[in-house]
Structure 1
Amino acid sequence: MPVIYLIRHGQASFGAENYDALSDLGWEQSRVLGRHLREQNLGAPRVLCGAMRRHRETADAALGALDLPREWHTDPGFNEYDHQSLMQVHWPESRDRAVVAGWMAEQAQPRRAFQARFEEALRRWQRGEDQYPESWPAFRERVLASLYSLGNGLEKGDSALVFTSGGAISVAIQHLLGLDDEALITFNRGLINTSVTRLLVNTGRLRLATLNEHLHLSGDLLTYR
């Protein structure tokens, strides 16, 4: 039975000028993931990446550790939602990084406070209260379209590695488990960097086999953001 491995990217550079680049820790997480995947009997997997830098860098490091060619098909359908535009609609001052840094410095638990504010922005986006470059229904539909297109193209014994983001993986989980929109936030909050979520493919139908696998990570390598 074909298997799709949905892989969340390594730790990105939170708070840096370019969030989309992997941190040093993110690169190491990705290499550790690749070494772990050597044990999975992948054969010659099909490899897909979203179009974001953090997806490509995670794939580059993991495939190198797997001793596989650093080659993949880019599918923007697996891109993350635009978190910056969501925050800027909800909190216009967040366009100024200095304002955000000052606000976080005032918080007793800065990352937790920022996460709470970001989740408010996500819920506002899901309710469709404002204009966004991409709506919640459009985001969900494009992720699922790419996922099912991949599944329909796999044959018995095939495997596919998909390097993507937490939001896209959460959409897949929400859809396959028949959950409400809040599931995006619940699962996105708990998905670990370079975790693996496995889907089984049976005549074009997808089934969730495992969720948020991360036994390859421990100690400081285990991060959520």
Structure 2
Amino acid sequence: MHIHLIRHGQANASGMNYDQLTDKGRQQARKLGQRFRENGLEFKLFARGSLVRHMETLDGILEGMQMLESPVSIPANGRESPNTDRNTSAPGDSIQTEESGSSVIVLEKPGLNEVDPAAWKSIAEEIASTDPTFSSILGHLKNSEGSGRRRRLAAVTGRVLDFWIRGQSPDFLEFRTAVLESLKEIASKPGSGPALVVSSGTPMAIAIAEALGQSNPESIYHWLRQLSNTSYSILDISSRWKALQINSLDHLPMAQRSLM
């Protein structure tokens, strides 16, 4: 199966709650959906992680494709996921599209989430215990806002993920397995055809490295640093994984592009 693997739109790195899209991030998602619609792309299956930024990105894409009415998520356990913040009047496991009345399945896969915030914090504190410069940046991050916070968060996150990925700890290896198994499960859906999947930078970097046959820490971290918000990569996930397209941003002008 061909999977369009998409990184979420720009998240709120300038504020205290990162797990939500900025106005720019929502616009990025809508632009991507519009481009898919203009190109006549049709997806038989939609999937995403369970983070708010994944949900909001998929909503924006569907809005751009003129398919958004009332998303209902089907989590990994196969039962409908209640969401009191949404008008989920459509029953079951589908999104009813206003344009054609057709439906597509939306799967929620926690295995496509970014590293857990508690694990992120633990790794950051471990690094800070032996690196005074990093410790200072981490301390300033806790009380900063605006562009200064975005810069510090980018620096800290880069160091944390580099440390975690290159360390090949049991936690990271378990995380990698969950990412790959989630994508295999999506690809195995019978008769589902091409799929659109919204995830985050680290899971995407793992998947791309796997498809390139370069699933080593250096390759994973390399791709993690390259992936822009709402960039999409096309992977052929079958008996042998292949990367058909990586980190495409043809839907966004330069001024609307972002890494964090």
* TM-score normalised to structure 1 length: 0.83
Q: CA deviation at 1:176?
A: 1.6
Equivalent residue for 1:74, pick from 96, 102, 108: 108
1:4–1:201 contact (8 Å) kept in structure 2? yes
* Structure with a larger share of its residues in helix: 1
1:51–1:79 Cα contact (<8 Å) kept: yes
Aligned to 2:56: 57
Out of 120, 140, 152, which is 1:99 matched to?
140
Which amino acid counterpart does residue 36 of structure 1 have in structure 2? R
Give the aligned residue type for 1:100: L
1:39-188 matches, within 5 Å, as 39-69=38-68, 70=71, 71=95, 72-83=106-117, 85-91=119-125, 99-100=140-141, 111=151, 114-126=153-165, 127=167, 135-155=171-191, 158-179=193-214, 180-188=216-224
Aligned mates of 1:43, 1:178 — CA distance in 2: 28
Alignment gaps of 5+ in structure 1: none
Aligned-CA RMSD value:
2.9
- C-alpha deviation, 1:128, in angstroms: 5.2
Q: Aligned equivalents of 1:184 and 1:173: distance in 2?
A: 8
Paired residue secondary structure (2:196): strand
Aligned length: 214
Equivalent in the alignment of 2:259 = 224
Q: Residue 210 of structure 2 contacts residue 241 of structure 2 at CA under 8 Å; is this kept in 1?
A: no
Distance of 2:50 and 2:113 partners within structure 1: 6
Distance 2:140 2:159 in 1: 18
Choose 1 or 2 for highest CA Rg.
2
Q: Is the 8 A contact 1:20 1:54 kept in 2?
A: yes
- The ranges of structure 1 where at least 4 consecutive aligned residues each deviate by more than 6 angstroms after the TM superposition are 102-105
1:139: Cα distance to partner?
Answer: 0.6
SS at match of 2:60: helix
Q: What runs of 5+ residues in structure 2 fail to find an aligned partner? A: 72-94, 96-105, 129-134
Counterparts in 2 of 1:124 and 1:97: CA distance versus 1, 3 Å: closer
Deviations 1:147-187 (A, max 9, x none): 111112254x8110101111111000111222211222211
Give the direction of change, closer, same or farther, for the CA distance of 1:32–1:103 in structure 2 (3 Å limit): closer
Report deviation, 1:67.
1.4
Name the residue aligned to 1:212.
247
The TM-score with structure 2 as length reference comes to 0.72
The structure, 1 or 2, with the larger RCO (C-alpha pairs under 8 Å, 6+ apart) is 1
Q: Give the percent of matched residue pairs that are identical in Structure 1 and Structure 2.
A: 30
